[in-house]
A = this chain, B = another copy of it.
Amino acid sequence: MNFQEISRQLRKNGHKVTPQRMAIIQTVLGSTELLTPSSIFEKVKKTDPGVGEVTVYRTLNILESLGMVCVVHTDEKTHSYISCPTEHHDHLICSDCGKVVNFTHCDLGTLEKRLTAESGFNINDHRLDFYGRCEKCDRKQCKAKTPAEIRTHRESCH
């Protein structure tokens, strides 16, 4: 998604196009990694020092309401966000570097039917996250364990 399209999406939904907002959005949508509000703030600060952290939170809420990012739950105490397609999709998440691959054909129809029959639930949605190592990290056999080690590894990875 380019500058033009994003601007159009924002205006269509009653949001103004501000430089702070665009800086944050370009950073988030241009990344394939899991991002936290504070990591987004740090990234954006490098090129646009005038952007406040609160604006990051506010912009993430807009992106979420437009279905352009989704929240991924990790073991961390903060929310993580990832750029994603607006249609139904699920995730493959690299537990080493935080890379996320969105995939769109989960084919859970058979399972869903079975569970409906067994449980009586009227199912209308699901969330499926796979965890593992991306190709790059799997080759490296990274041994990072502590948060600090993981941070260093991620920086060396991207």
User: Assembly of this chain: how many copies?
Assistant: 2
CA distance A133 to B123 in the complex (A): 6
Chain B residue with Cβ nearest A123: B132
| B residues in contact with A131, CB < 8 Å | 123-127
B101 touches A107 (CB 8 A): no
The verdict on A23 contacting chain B, using a C-beta distance below 8 Å, is: no
Q: With A92-B115, A127-B128, A128-B128 in contact, do A121 and B103 touch (Cβ < 8 Å)?
A: no
Residue A53 at the B interface, CB < 8 A? no
Q: Which residue of B lies closest to A136 (CB)?
A: B120
Known: A103-B115, A111-B107. A138 touches B122 (CB 8 A): yes
Cα-based distance from A139 to B122 in the complex (angstroms)? 10
Report yes or no: A125 in contact with B135, Cβ–Cβ below 8 A.
no
- Compute how far the CA of A133 lies from the CA of B119 in the bound complex, rounded to whole angstroms: 10
One digit per residue, 1 when the CB lies within 8 angstroms of any chain B CB and 0 when it does not, for chain A 121-158 equals 11111111111111100100000000000000000000
Chain B residues near A125 (CB, 8 Å)?
Answer: 130-132
Is A121 touching B101 in the complex (CB atoms < 8 A)?
A: yes
A5 at the binding interface (Cβ < 8 Å) = no
Counting CB contacts under 8 A, is A118 at the interface? yes
